[in-house]
Structure 1
């Protein structure tokens, strides 16, 4: 039952993420300012998380570690990556389509692997099949991103009517520029993952990390938008698609989706949950055609297939390394329970695990 609930939860989480791109694209197509939407969505997420964070703070059993200035600086940097990714993502979707956005999200594991190599958090052992799979998968994913960005191709799925079902049809002023911004969004997300791992090691309180991240992102986005947006009417909230996009992003895409993902990771593991990411492409195509009247192009199909192939190559390599690591840990735990007469054999097993760099 828990596996079934985790399956349903991840499908809903991916659906919520694809839906977020759809409503944001619809709002921007209706003329809503993308930067003010980011400010309002971050503010709403902060307000929603504040009571929960305050409740946990007053529970002595779950009280987080003390806040220090270096920790707050890390929170601020996390928020900067979050806000930068939001800017890149909104601009990319505005210039292209949610279908391209969902396809480019699958670049995150490849970029994360590259950054982990640069920061010496990952090692490559060329004789091991798992390392070869990660390197090859990264190259394939980046190749797919180039295909989906540089080659649009003819439309293979067209909306059933000239006018879309609900919203005005979006324009594509610059498909290539949109793809570049979406790739920058994926790279920023990968940087966020690298920093998030180090932050949680020093401050293992997920709710507080997310709260301060949203809080600082609100301040950063507000300062940026006040500088960039000169029209005061862009800040007006009206009962239109802009308000729907703000409510959806703040409530569904941030609070509910992150809660679902955290619960699913807890019940089924991070690797299981990551495997659902390519579903976003399917949801993006279906909802883009139905709600936005957005055609699906051949280049998006070819590039998405290449990106997903590379995505699963990287994930398979990481799964194999995790299996080796778990096997070494089991051998070490068994070794602690052996009698001294078998100690030499145990030492050989430990040396074998060390020689293949179990981590």
Structure 2
């Protein structure tokens, strides 16, 4: 039972994420403006998260307004806003399956950024560093395959929901543009995760931080959307797939998914949670084919396999590194306990 609940929880997290992508893609294909979707989703998310943060973090005191925490959160929101824009546009021009495949680039890009900012050192003699470096190269190679090689169609079906797909360029150019935007989103998300780690170390109330992020995101996205959305009627909410996408994104994809994922992190740890990410590719491919009439191409399958291989290589390297750190910590504790009889006696007791 101890492992069953986190397993079910992570499957639900992945389903919430993928289904939100599929519904968002359906809404944009149906003519809903992506900028409007971003604004309304963030605004509604902040409204939902506000009472949640009070309920679950009522004992946590907010930092003073002079604290640099708010500046970090605003920077995080700014980066997240750009990432959201790339993500929505990438899904619009490609597919949810491609989007989920590209998300597996995040560990590789995080590793690169950690080296650039000297948060991590690359030790060529260490097998963990070699695995992470090799996994990074493999993941990026897979991303190139997904983006630039579509290949023949290997699976397609009649869409259950007929949606008019709007193309910006030719289908092939759209696919490349979508892949590049999704790769950019993965890179931006990597920077976002690094800054988020700094924020949560200072203020570990996840839902409160997410409220501020969504609130700032809503403000920022409103500002640029007012310039980019020329048609005033695009802002009107109608009882259609667009409204469903906004509600689903705010309630399920953000509030529910983040809360459940945080619980799974607490119960099973980050390594366990990370292992479920490639599962999203399968869910996204199936849901995209069934509900959106997407096609599964050979290039997407090959690229996804390569990306997942690199993903697990980076994950293995990170796990090995953490294990070595724990072992060295135990060794240092044992050596110090030999020097301090009192500590040794307490350990033996």
Matched, 1:165 2:163: no
Match of residue 182 from structure 1: 182
Match of residue 66 from structure 1: 64
Match of residue 136 from structure 1: 134
Match of residue 335 from structure 1: 335
Residue pair 1:78, 1:196 contacting (<8 A) in 2 also:
yes
2:78 to 80, 94, 100: 80
Q: Gaps spanning 5+ residues in structure 2: where?
A: 344-349
1:152 to 150, 153, 159: 150
Match of residue 52 from structure 2: 52
1:94-109 equivalences in 2 (<5 Å) = 94-109=92-107
Q: Partners in 2 of 1:13 and 1:32 — Cα distance?
A: 25
Query: Post-superposition shift, 1:58?
Result: 4.5
Match of residue 202 from structure 2: 202
Query: Post-superposition shift, 1:245?
Result: 0.4
Q: Gaps spanning 5+ residues in structure 1: where?
A: 344-359
SS of 2:54's equivalent? Answer: helix
SS of 2:68's equivalent? Answer: helix
Residue pair 1:64, 1:205 contacting (<8 A) in 2 also:
no
Match of residue 259 from structure 2: 259
SS of 1:2's equivalent? Answer: coil
Q: Partners in 1 of 2:152 and 2:188 — Cα distance?
A: 31
Query: Post-superposition shift, 1:16?
Result: 1.0
1:24-63 equivalences in 2 (<5 Å) = 24-55=24-55, 58-59=58-59, 62-63=60-61
Match of residue 357 from structure 1: none
Judged with a 3 Å threshold, the aligned counterparts in structure 2 of structure 1 residues 313 and 113 are, in CA distance, closer, same or farther, namely same
The C-alpha deviation readout for 1:85-125, integer Å capped at 9, x for no partner, is: 11001101111111111111100000000001111111111
Query: Post-superposition shift, 1:167?
Result: 3.5
Match of residue 347 from structure 1: none
Q: Partners in 1 of 2:303 and 2:166 — Cα distance?
A: 21
Q: Partners in 2 of 1:127 and 1:17 — Cα distance?
A: 38
Residue pair 2:30, 2:164 contacting (<8 A) in 1 also:
no
Range with bigger deviation, 313-322 or 210-219 = 210-219
Residue pair 1:82, 1:192 contacting (<8 A) in 2 also:
yes
The C-alpha deviation readout for 1:179-216, integer Å capped at 9, x for no partner, is: 00000110110010111111222223222211111110
- Structure 2-normalised TM-score? 0.93
Match of residue 351 from structure 1: none
Matched, 1:114 2:112: yes
Q: Partners in 2 of 1:58 and 1:17 — Cα distance?
A: 28
- Structure 1-normalised TM-score? 0.90
Matched, 1:306 2:301: no
Match of residue 92 from structure 1: 90
Judged with a 3 Å threshold, the aligned counterparts in structure 2 of structure 1 residues 125 and 206 are, in CA distance, closer, same or farther, namely same
Query: Post-superposition shift, 1:64?
Result: 4.1
Query: Post-superposition shift, 1:231?
Result: 0.7
Matched, 1:291 2:291: yes
SS of 2:337's equivalent? Answer: coil
SS of 2:256's equivalent? Answer: helix
Residue pair 1:169, 1:292 contacting (<8 A) in 2 also:
no
| Paired positions, count | 337
Residue pair 1:107, 1:307 contacting (<8 A) in 2 also:
yes
